[in-house]
Amino acid sequence: MKSKIISTEELKKRTKDTVPDNLSRSAGFALINVLPANYFAMEHIPNSINVPVDDLDTLKGRFDTEKEIIVYCASAECDASEKAVRKLKGLGFTNVKDFEGGTQAWKEAGHRVSGAEGPSARPSSRHEERRHTSV
């Protein structure tokens, strides 16, 4: 089951033309960061919400199954968004798209991010990345 992919350019156009509607059951589209909360707090695409992959079942009553949902994670190497697409489709959602480049592609395209570490937030090494994820 191949997921629908949304490009950085398409996502930028969509978020420029319309603010994601993460509250409405059916109107607009939802933009969801599927990483753990500590990553979302560090940086995320503006106007997105955080629902980690393991918590996606909470969306079942929150959104109509036809609502457009765009999910993303950290980068093209991260598979959390791909897992999220499979899980959401398994829950009956029919209009799910994967922004597979994630936060990294968004920043590399020159777009701003929100979060505690600001627009240039990027772990400088794998050691630094692990340090941020330890609880």
Supply the pLDDT for residue 27.
93
Is-contact 32 95, C-beta < 8 A? no
Supply the pLDDT for residue 126.
34
Q: Kindly report the CATH class assigned to 4-133.
A: alpha beta
CA angle in degrees (0–180, nearest 5) for 59-53-23 = 30
- Provide the mean pLDDT of the chain: 86
127 vs 20, 44, 91, 135, CA distance in Å? 34, 21, 36, 15
Give average pLDDT by consecutive 10-residue segment, the chain, 135 residues: 84 89 93 97 96 97 96 96 97 96 96 76 36 35
Classify residue 122 by its DSSP letter: -
What ranges do the domains of the chain cover? 4-133
Supply the pLDDT for residue 117.
64
